[in-house]
Amino acid sequence: MSRILSLLSLSSAFYVASAAIDCSVISKAACDFFQGVDNDTYLSWYESKIDTKYSNHVFLQGSDPDQPEDGVAVHWRVDDTYAYLAFAARATGWVAFGISEAGGMLGADMVIFHANRPNELVDAYSGDERQPLTDDCSSDWEWVSSNVDEEGGFLMVETKRLLNTDDVHDRPIVDDSSNTASPHRVIAAWGDSDEVSYHGLKRARGGIRFFGTGDDDSTFMAAMESADGSVDMVAGNYTIPAQDTTYETFCFSRQDLIDQGLLNTTDPLNIIGWEPIIQSGNEAYVHHYIVQASLRPFCDNNTDIPSADFTEMTYVWAPGEKGIAFPDFLGMPLFGSDGFQAFEIQIHYNNPTIVEGVVDNSGVRFYWTSEQREQQVGIMNVGDPTVGVYGTPIGAGLSMHQFECPGSCSSLANQEVTVLREYLHVRVNQASNYSCLYNINSI
Is 154 strand, coil or helix?
A: strand
Determine the Cα–Cα distance for residues 374 and 390; give it in Å rounded to an integer.
Answer: 39
Is 225 strand, coil or helix?
A: helix
Determine the Cα–Cα distance for residues 30 and 73; give it in Å rounded to an integer.
Answer: 8
Identity of residue 83: A
Is 290 strand, coil or helix?
A: strand
Q: Which domains occur in the chain, in start order?
A: 4-214 (2.60.40.1210), 219-440 (2.60.120.310)
Q: What percent of the chain has pLDDT over 70?
A: 83
Which tens digits make up the pLDDT trace of 243-300? 999 999 999 999 999 999 999 999 999 999 999 999 998 998 999 999 999 999 999 7
Which tens digits make up the pLDDT trace of 200-254? 999 998 888 899 765 677 778 888 999 999 999 999 999 999 999 999 999 999 9
pTM (predicted TM-score): 0.68
Terminal Cα distance for the chain, rounded: 57
Residue 58 has φ and ψ, to the nearest 5°, of: -155, 150
**Measuring CA to CA, which residue among 4, 49, 102 is closest to residue 434?**
102
Which tens digits make up the pLDDT trace of 85-107? 999 999 999 999 999 887 788 88
- The CB-side HSE value for 137 (13 A sphere, CA atoms) comes to 14
Specify whether the CB–CB gap between 383 and 431 falls below 8 A. yes
DSSP H or E segment with residue 270: strand 268-277
Distances (CA, A) of 441 to 268, 320, 401: 18, 30, 33
Specify whether the CB–CB gap between 23 and 46 falls below 8 A. no
Instruction: Classify burial at 387, counting beta carbons within 10 Å of its beta carbon; exposed 0-12, middle 13-18, buried 19 or more.
Output: middle
Specify whether the CB–CB gap between 156 and 97 falls below 8 A. no
Distances (CA, A) of 43 to 11, 25, 424: 20, 12, 36
Bridge pairing between strands 375-383 and 330-335: parallel
Mean pLDDT of the residues in the chain? 83
